[in-house]
Structure formats: C-alpha cells, structure tokens
Amino acid sequence: MAKKKVFITYKIPEAGINLLRKNGFSVEVYSKEKLITRQELIRNVKDADALISLLTDKIDREIIDKMERCRIIANYAVGFNNIDIDYARNKGIIVTNTPDVLTDSTADLTMTLVLACARRLNEGERIMRQKQFKGWRPELLLGYELKDKIFGIIGMGRIGLAVARRAFAFGCRIIYYSNNKKSEAEKLFNAKKVSLKTLMKSSDIISLHIPLNNKTKTLINSDYLNLMKKTAIFINTARGEVIDENHLISLLKKKKIFAAGFDVYKNEPDINPELVKLDNVVLLPHIGSATVEARSAMAKLAAKNVIAVLTGKKPITPVN
C-alpha cells in the first residue's frame, strides 16, 4: 500500500519532517531557495494527502479545488488569513495552525523593538559603523526609560499577555484593549481594560497583538493614529494590514510620534521605501518567531496535526 504523501511548501526544521517520516508518511519538500510559485503549488498538491503551508502561500478556492486527496492544510504559522477557511471546510479539508509555541519568542521580539525604539539603538549602531562617534555628549541620542510608562496592549491574547508580563517587569503600567475582560492580566499585572480611543491617547508605548480578519483590517486607522502622544512609541508584530501604514509613516516623517518598530508590513515582503529613509523606525524582516525553539516547536506541531488527521484522530489545533 502506497504511503500517504505530505507536501511541504518550503523546508521547515527537521524535527517536523523527521516526525512525519517516523510515522510512515512520504514527505516531499519544495527544495528551491525561494517561495513556491502558484503553478508549482498546484502541480504538487494534486496527489497530496496533506499540505504544510507557509503564511506566504495563498491557499484560495482554485488551489483547494486542485486538492483531490488532501484532508488537512497545516499552516506553519499562528495566522491563517492566507487560507480560504470556509471553502476548505466545505470541501471537507481541516485547517490547523501553530499557536502557543511561538508566544514567548514573539513577546521577546516585541520588547526588543520597544527597547530599540526607546533607546534609539539603530541610530547609535549606525553612528558606530560609520565611524561618526566623536565622544560622549550630554544629549547624544536621548531616549526614554520604560519605568512608569503607560504600556498599551491592543489584543490581550496569549502573546499580549506575555508582552504584559515583560513590560510589567520593566515597571510599566499596563492598559489594554480587548473584546473581553482579561482577569489574569488584571490580577497579575494590575492591567486595566480601556477603550481603543483611550489607549491610543494615553499610552507611551503601544503594541499590536491582534489577528488579521475582516474586523481588524485597518482597525488602527488615521483617526486613532492621530491620537498618539508626540513621545509615543508604536510597535507592530501582528500584521501589517491592521494599521493605516501610510498614515503612520506620515506621522513619523513629521515627528508627530517618537518612534515605531516594525516586524510586519502591509505589502510584505515589499516594504514602503519611505520607511527605509526614516531614522526613527526600527525595521525587522518578520522574525517574531525566529528562534530555534519556536520554529522547531512549530514544525513538530504542524506534523502532529497532520499525523492526527491522517490516522483518523482529531486535529490538535484546528481553526475550522
């Protein structure tokens, strides 16, 4: 009897691939050092029993219709806005994601961006690399301390809670905007639930941790962005499309806010060229989960979801 085929659209850590092979599956991995093209994806999913996809892979109706045998799409990401969830469900295909395992890595990176913005690290490093440092001066690259700052978290889910824990350890006062009251955050960190308008007006640091969907697309629009303090720091490690990126850039250009840190972008992987020109931004290439621990755990979780479904068990982290 032929082995069931699992197709993976890009090489993931060996921990996941080995787990699939140990459980008797035939694993085919797209081997080129670039993202898979649409044509190549269509060609490879036709006879696949399972697909492990990246967030960059658009799995729409056309792709799903080519899946003659597929029973599960295991997205190697927490987000799944790249997949037509409802259509997959109608076709009897289960969709899973990889939550929880990248919580700490993303929270760590969020605080990295906060500190880099607050202490102007990119400007300082550039001065050193370009050999422009002329000696200590009282007002050289003045930034801000985190102690007693109001830290506003938009989206108090797993990652938001992990960020609150870190910000609280730095002595920040936590406020948050969420659909529901978060008792754990309020008990542990004395966090206060506020309206989005209040959060944008009051916060010294604003950090985004919401998924991308129809309700959150451009949720942080120009009206909300205009409410920020001139000394505010804005951090986005969620999705580029949840903010009005162009308007945020205009505020940064006019020095209407202090700084911003980006790990995600509206037209990723393309980046607005105006961002590159700005000194008061820190730019990272979507590396929120880029730790050995997180990426290996994501690979294992995606593999376990595939193994569960293809052996007749329930998926571990279904989204549809």
Active site residue 245: no
Active site residue 239: yes
Active site residue 247: no
| Residue 242 near residue 213 (C-beta atoms within 8 A) | no
Residues 6+ apart with CB under 8 A from 241: 212, 217, 218, 266
In sequence order, what E strands does the chain have? 5-8, 26-29, 50-53, 72-75, 94-96, 150-154, 173-177, 192-193, 205-208, 233-236, 259-262, 281-283
Compute φ and ψ for 59, nearest 5 degrees. Answer: -105, 85
Among 21, 123, 247, 268, the one annotated catalytic: 268
| Residue 101 near residue 316 (C-beta atoms within 8 A) | no
Determine the Cα–Cα distance for residues 170 and 146; give it in Å rounded to an integer: 6
| Residue 106 near residue 237 (C-beta atoms within 8 A) | yes
In sequence order, what E strands does 218-293 have? 233-236, 259-262, 281-283
**CA Rg, the chain, in Å?**
22
Among 239, 241, 245, 295, the one annotated catalytic: 239
**The Cα angle at residue 63 between residues 295 and 60, in degrees rounded to 5:** 75
| Range 287-305 burial, b when 16+ CB lie within 10 A, else e | ebbebeebbbbbbbbbbbb
- The catalytic site residues sit at 239, 268, 286
